[in-house]
Structure 1
Amino acid sequence: MLPNTLTLAAMLAISGSASATTDAALAGIVDQRLAGDRTGACFSVALIDGDSVARTYRCADGTATPRIGTDSAFEIGSVSKTMTAALLAQLIADGQASLDDPLSAYLPAGTAVPTFEGQPILLRHVVTHTSGLPALPARMQITNPADPYAALTPEALLASLGDVTLTRAPGTQFEYSNFASMLLSYAVAQRAGQPFEALIDAQLFAPLGMTHAYIAQRPDGVRAAVGHLPNGSETPAWTIPGDMAGVGGVRATLDDMVRYVQGQLGHADGSAAAPLLAALQTTQQPVSEQPPMAMNWMIAPLAGRSVLMHEGGTGGFSSLVGFDPERRRGVVILSDTSLTALGGLGSLGAHLLDPSAPVGKPRKLATPPSELVDGLVGTWQLSAGMQVELARKGDALTIHPAGQPIFELGYDDAGDFFPVQFDALLSPKRAADGSYSFVWHQGGGAMAATRATDAAPTAAQAPDVPLADYAGDYTLMPGFALKVDSADGRLRAQATGQGAFPLDATGADTFAAPAFGIELRFQRGTDGEVTALELHQAGQVLRGARG
């Protein structure tokens, strides 16, 4: 449920039109993205186009059964947040809530809720991730890393509010917060006077005919899909207790999610669903501009219109829901494998909404270049303090963390190494002088590595070029830009809705942020002026023109 900082999915913005797609044609599209993928992932995918629905169930190895099927319920992760927003929208329609209400009004009396210079956190800040609350509650005890939320209690959730000191006014900066979303889930259930699972079943699942969707009480005839790490190994399901489950605890089949998207597009069977359809429309209305968001929906432009999207991820699952209200077109992708660290499902989702967007491609096993292997061999210090030894084994590498066993590393054609035995990623970086380093990605964090024999790293000297030459806004994808400016004699960059980070010069028109594994390569036109940049990160390259 936590996005990696600056890990960018595929471009959303493109023009074009699309016609209805058959099941077979959809399977062919999914195979372009998935067939042979080294994760072994399986996808359940639906494309809603007006009144028609195409469906397919595909796996990287070319099979779909018995691993997944029509009866498989997937963890949808943070897509659950959009459903919590729908419950809030119904409270608003009933006159029981307003986006301008303070969060504190929905929590038990005496709960210490932080403010900033007297400015409270409002519900509108919570549904747009601008509350200023951190990603997770401070008193969240993780007793099992494979099931991190299982031990969290409402008491610990609420008490964690008292540990927060806001550093900025609510509403001024985007910072994705599962903490805030858990509070909203709890608050909605308290205001409605029902346990969250009973509330969402009565107010959302039943009216839309999502008969196989659930949180903890699995309906008869539903098979819980088994989650997988990106290395293909099975991993336990996540448990998000009680009234906090609206942060990411919903499980659903593909057909359940098709009905959810159809409801977002204004269609559901029976007049009893009419109030819910109105509430779903409410959740689609813009609430904030930086970045563009509705109620827990991300908004992005597409061919002169707007699409709404949200991705989700748990320890062993990935999901994406997106729809274009104007064209009455929607997409659902559910995977039984955690793919967030590998770029997520955004490229496929964007392509299905508009075929002119790139579909993406599978990561396939490959043999690393011998020069790369030799360049990485040695002793390295990670920014978190751990020392690791990289050694050659045949054509590949092994990694030996201090005090731990030696682990073999695989390699894929995206240019990344990965441990065969557990979930992590080693992304190599090549400096302008030809030397190599890497960034280690694990558990949602990114740790830059430096050679243990190297002197303490210092910022590279900037080339003899005014930093103002690079300043500007570079649009990397619709609704997501990189703002480049300078401060204290250094270049810095800030992605839409995220904090600024410094950049060090590594060569002519090339700058890097090693802590995030980012390299920026500025490009010049025939007149010598900077016209665009390329962002290189985790094997992905995104280009943005200078605005």
Structure 2
Amino acid sequence: MTPKKWAMALLALLPLGAGAAMPTQLAGVLQRRLQGDRSGACIAAAVIDGGVTQAYVCAGGGRPRIHARSAFEIGSISKTMNAFLLAQFIGEGRVTLDTPLAQLLPPGAQVPQFQGQPILLRHVVTHRSGLPALPPGFAPPDMDDPYAYLDENLLLAALAQTTLTQAPGKHFEYSNFASMLLSAGLARLGGEDYETLLRERLFLPLGMRSSFISAPAAGLAPVPGHMSNGRVTPPWTFGPNLAGVGGVRATLGDMVAYVQAQLGLRNSSAAEAIALTQQDVPTDGEPAMGMNWIKLPLGSGTVLLHDGGTGGFAAFAGFDRARGRGVVLLSDTAIPDIVEIGAHLFDPTLPLPPPRRLARPPAVLVDALVGDYRIDDGQRLRLLRRGSALAAQVDGQPRLALGYDSGGDFFAATVDVLLRPQREADGSYSLQLHQLGGVRIARRVGAVAAPAPLQLEPQALAGYAGDYALLPEFTLRVYAEGATLYVQGSGQPALAVTAVEADVFVAAEAAAQLRFERRDGRVVALVLKQNGQELRGERR
């Protein structure tokens, strides 16, 4: 289940491209991404564009360990199915998007409000409930299966201890906590266990006979998930009625059927509710949302998508109904760039992420990162030096040695932990902590040994001005106004950037770094680094 903080899901400075034809050699695309990748992942993929093209490819080459009867954990793509059930109950007149969440929960449930403003169902399916990413006090006894110990009683007890710090609907904050509450509420509203509701209302009407939560069909082969060192990791399990947060497993064929239904290519009793989940749910700010579908521009159209990630899996599903195109990716290893791969399959002018290879972390980066951090849910994270590398320790968890890869990420090889450094406007670093099916932010505790932002004269800033072509159809314009430098991508609003060292600027709003290159003292190119990827553009 991955709350990607959707500005992080795709390059926030880059739009999806102009809609070039999708690749015809799907297996070749996957081989270019996976060959030599540190993860050892295997990916099952499908592109829907008139017909259906499928491929099964592994990082090590050779015969894939996955096949058509392999069932993968799809993680947070399950939330779009949660939204489907809600849409059916809306169609039946039993609730609306303006129904308070409290009405779906047991009588007496203590649901927080903010200055009298309740959490509505529209807030939950657009991730604006105000509830935190995880229940307060969430402390899994088994990190390999972190959600197994949770039940509805524990969830409601955590809810009673939760205080909203902002009005529901105000800000996007991805919340697995809210999605589990909705899942339990839908099962209560439907009068059946959650798996039965999904099977009878969605899976059977769409012919998804190999999809399940805890009861696989005969002859199905549930795929084991893998850590990046190849270790098999146990499947994630959920309380019987909490699985709408990320508990569905499915084969590639079933996910193709699901995306075909989203494209309107399968007539069934589910069609009306599916269409309702795709309608705009008005929000205050980005990202644009349907009901648990993220909406991103693709040329003159729109792609609706969701990704998913559990301890040993990554998944992606996206579609453009107007153009009849869809993409499905199912990985048996939790790779960090599943959305970027999916975006490339929609539009090959977008860069395909390169293989992630083991690398030595820069000594200056290690020096800058050592220290204590506070995670946004209150836990403390400590980074310690371990020779030329780093080790990490979260409160209550064992100390972990961290590897480093060519994408700039630190990772633990044996457990579900990935740390992505983010440069801040003051020159220091914060961290994205990818763990437990989510993304949380860890910020420095106490004094930060970082230089103050550089103050550059307008004449010096003007030396960076110019147009930099990062992609065939995307140019980054750089210009100065007074004492501020701005960057503006094609068709995008301008963002102010801050100098943190010589020729290095940070766009904190987009979690991006710009490094300018010089030749004979003159700026000739820039490199945009964001989300573990780099794009270089020559100055025109």
TM-score tier after normalising by the smaller chain length:
0.7 to 0.9
Greater shift after overlay, 138-147 or 276-285? 138-147
Please say if 1:216 is aligned against 2:220.
Answer: no
- Please give the secondary structure, in 2, of the residue aligned with 1:296: coil
Once the two structures are TM-superposed, the CA of residue 169 in structure 1 deviates from its matched residue by 1.6
Please say if 1:15 is aligned against 2:18.
Answer: yes
- Please give the secondary structure, in 2, of the residue aligned with 1:288: coil
- Given the alignment, which residue of 494, 501, 510 partners 2:505? 510
Task: Tell me which amino acid in the other structure corresponds to 1:42.
Answer: C
Cα deviations by residue, 1:522-544 (Å, 9 ceiling, x for unpaired) = 889xxxxxxx9976345324799
C-alpha distance in 2, partners of 1:406/1:90? 46
C-alpha distance in 2, partners of 1:505/1:41? 36
C-alpha distance in 2, partners of 1:141/1:408? 21
What residue is the counterpart of 2:330 in the other structure? Answer: 334
C-alpha distance in 2, partners of 1:204/1:431? 44
The answer (yes or no) to whether the contact 2:384–2:390 under 8 Å persists in 1 is no
The 5-angstrom pairing of residues 343-358 of structure 1 reads 344-358=337-351
- Please give the secondary structure, in 2, of the residue aligned with 1:307: strand
Once the two structures are TM-superposed, the CA of residue 472 in structure 1 deviates from its matched residue by 7.0
- Please give the secondary structure, in 2, of the residue aligned with 1:278: helix
The answer (yes or no) to whether the contact 1:319–1:333 under 8 Å persists in 2 is yes
The answer (yes or no) to whether the contact 2:228–2:413 under 8 Å persists in 1 is no
How many residues are paired up? 492
C-alpha distance in 2, partners of 1:338/1:36? 16
The 5-angstrom pairing of residues 97-112 of structure 1 reads 97-112=95-110
Q: Report the TM-score when normalising by structure 1.
A: 0.79
The answer (yes or no) to whether the contact 2:423–2:513 under 8 Å persists in 1 is no
Task: Tell me which amino acid in the other structure corresponds to 1:285.
Answer: Q
C-alpha distance in 2, partners of 1:236/1:167? 36
Please say if 1:205 is aligned against 2:203.
Answer: yes
Q: Aligned in 2, Cα 1:159/1:475: closer, same or farther, shift over 3 Å? A: farther
What is the root-mean-square deviation of aligned Cα atoms in Å?
3.9
Q: Report the TM-score when normalising by structure 2.
A: 0.80
Q: Aligned in 2, Cα 1:328/1:405: closer, same or farther, shift over 3 Å? A: closer
Task: Tell me which amino acid in the other structure corresponds to 1:166.
Answer: L
C-alpha distance in 1, partners of 2:88/2:152? 23
C-alpha distance in 2, partners of 1:308/1:232? 32
Once the two structures are TM-superposed, the CA of residue 457 in structure 1 deviates from its matched residue by 2.4
The answer (yes or no) to whether the contact 1:378–1:391 under 8 Å persists in 2 is no
- Please give the secondary structure, in 1, of the residue aligned with 2:38: coil
What residue is the counterpart of 1:62 in the other structure? Answer: 61
The 5-angstrom pairing of residues 247-266 of structure 1 reads 247-266=245-264
C-alpha distance in 1, partners of 2:398/2:275? 54
Cα deviations by residue, 1:331-377 (Å, 9 ceiling, x for unpaired) = 100000112xx3x21122112222322222211345x48xx358848
Which runs of 5 or more residues in structure 2 are unaligned? 374-379, 459-480, 518-524
C-alpha distance in 1, partners of 2:247/2:145? 12
What residue is the counterpart of 2:317 in the other structure? Answer: 321
The answer (yes or no) to whether the contact 1:189–1:243 under 8 Å persists in 2 is yes
C-alpha distance in 2, partners of 1:389/1:436? 17
What residue is the counterpart of 1:279 in the other structure? Answer: 273
What residue is the counterpart of 2:188 in the other structure? Answer: 190
The answer (yes or no) to whether the contact 1:76–1:251 under 8 Å persists in 2 is yes
The answer (yes or no) to whether the contact 2:144–2:415 under 8 Å persists in 1 is no
- Please give the secondary structure, in 2, of the residue aligned with 1:33: helix
- Please give the secondary structure, in 1, of the residue aligned with 2:387: strand
Greater shift after overlay, 418-427 or 166-175? 418-427
The answer (yes or no) to whether the contact 2:366–2:385 under 8 Å persists in 1 is no
Q: Aligned in 2, Cα 1:387/1:280: closer, same or farther, shift over 3 Å? A: closer
The answer (yes or no) to whether the contact 1:286–1:292 under 8 Å persists in 2 is yes
Percent identical residues: 44
What residue is the counterpart of 2:223 in the other structure? Answer: 225
- Given the alignment, which residue of 293, 305, 311 partners 1:309? 305
C-alpha distance in 2, partners of 1:79/1:427? 23
Q: Aligned in 2, Cα 1:408/1:462: closer, same or farther, shift over 3 Å? A: closer
The 5-angstrom pairing of residues 469-508 of structure 1 reads 469-470=483-484, 484=496, 505-507=500-502
What residue is the counterpart of 1:42 in the other structure? Answer: 42
Task: Tell me which amino acid in the other structure corresponds to 2:59.
Answer: A
- Please give the secondary structure, in 1, of the residue aligned with 2:385: strand
Once the two structures are TM-superposed, the CA of residue 111 in structure 1 deviates from its matched residue by 1.1
Task: Tell me which amino acid in the other structure corresponds to 2:295.
Answer: I
Once the two structures are TM-superposed, the CA of residue 303 in structure 1 deviates from its matched residue by 1.4
What residue is the counterpart of 1:457 in the other structure? Answer: 449
C-alpha distance in 2, partners of 1:440/1:121? 27
What residue is the counterpart of 2:355 in the other structure? Answer: 362
The answer (yes or no) to whether the contact 1:511–1:519 under 8 Å persists in 2 is yes
What residue is the counterpart of 2:27 in the other structure? Answer: 27
